[in-house]
Amino acid sequence: MTMIAETPTDRSVALGRRPLRLPGQGIILANLALVLIGLLVLDVHLFSKASLSTLTPTIGVMILMALGQAFIIGTGGIDLSIPSTTTLVGAIVLKEAGGDNSAVLGSIVLALLVCLGIGLANGLLVEVTRLDALVVTLATGQLIAGITRIYRGPVLSISTVPSDLSDFARSSVGHVSIILILAVAVATLIALWMRFHTSGRRLAASSVARPAAENSGLSAARQRITAWMVGTLIVGVGAVLLAGRISTPDLSLGQPYLLTPIVAVVLGGAALSGGRVRPAATVFGAVFLVVLEHILRVRGYSSGVSLAFQGLVLGVGLTLVVVSKHLRWSVVSARRGGNASDRSTSDPVVNQENQE
């Protein structure tokens, strides 16, 4: 009797499962390389107390902003209103609380409800009327910026957030900021929700392939609007923590978060045309950008150099995403002995890759 060893890939395909892979292998390796270069070549002490006190809260806020953007990019959209939303949240927390610790919870709840309303408005305009997300969020961003200036007024009697919020946002466990700990917890909850809960899987299915979701009986438009609302809510959480960290939020609070969260999502392997949200890979993408900017700042480079590097990273990241998908498609096809005409129907692994 001849024994034929079945490879893990063949066994996974036969059972209709995708082979288990660590998400975002490329961005994990990029982070390791960046840390080693910073420590050994550029002599930047990334793990010193001073560096961690600066890096960890900044990374935490960037993770939340990138996760919010990831939900929207997952639908094939993009949200350019995030900076204006962030600034509005800071203004609400500042003005509604009025420096009073007893009013801080109510101001945070109001700010998050406003974020849900912004996400709902953007989602309806994009998913129901089928307007272009880039144009819609650019317009709503300008509208939110104008409303923020009117709401905030020319002069504020109190320019700092309540001390309870500020103390919480500036607290740490060891040398790790509480903001980073909360951001990782949010990313973990999102990953578990989208993988194991029915509502999360429905949202993912509707985001990846709207026509297929509609043909399967899912309310794809409703699920995709939910993705907009969830994404904007996560951004709101990040904005509240950012306002507490800065303590004196002004009209420039959201400016750094226009393009950087998009770059972080792309570095995590997402395609701007839409696809599955990968929280872990998005987290590593955010870490890479913040650590890169910190290294450049410590070495004395200007902000212009940092922006140039971000543009370069975005271009390289987009190229690698496209190339990696084509390579995986070719490798799986060669392994299975298929051709271009039957890959999408006979090979579930390839079909899954195409959806992502």
Per-residue pLDDT tens over the stretch 22-58:
446 778 888 888 888 888 888 888 888 888 888 999 9
Model confidence, pTM? 0.81
pLDDT, tens digit, for every residue of 210-241? 666 666 666 778 888 998 999 999 999 999 99
C-beta neighbour count of 225 within 10 angstroms:
23
* Angstrom distance (rounded) from CA 292 to CA 34: 7
* Angstrom distance (rounded) from CA 218 to CA 222: 9
* DSSP string across 130-192: ---HHHHHHHHHHHHHHHHHHHH-S--S--S--HHHHHHHT-EETTEEHHHHHHHHHHHHHHH
150, 151, 157, 163 alpha-carbon torsion, rounded to 10°: -140
Tokens read off for 250: 């002004």
pLDDT, tens digit, for every residue of 253-266? 999 999 889 989 98
Q: What is the pLDDT of residue 320?
A: 65
Q: What is the pLDDT of residue 99?
A: 85
Q: What is the pLDDT of residue 3?
A: 43
Question: What average pLDDT does this structure show over 66-86?
Answer: 92
* Angstrom distance (rounded) from CA 94 to CA 111: 10
pLDDT at residue 6 above 50? Answer: no
pLDDT at residue 352 above 80? Answer: no
pLDDT at residue 149 above 90? Answer: yes
Q: What is the pLDDT of residue 220?
A: 75
Q: Are 248 and 101 in contact (CB under 8 A)?
A: no
Q: Which residues have C-beta within 8 Å of that of residue 261, sequence separation ≥ 6?
A: 62, 65, 66, 68, 69, 82, 286
User: Residue 172 phi/psi, 5° resolution?
Assistant: -150, 160
The label of the residue with tokens 């974020």 reads 115
Q: What is the pLDDT of residue 135?
A: 93
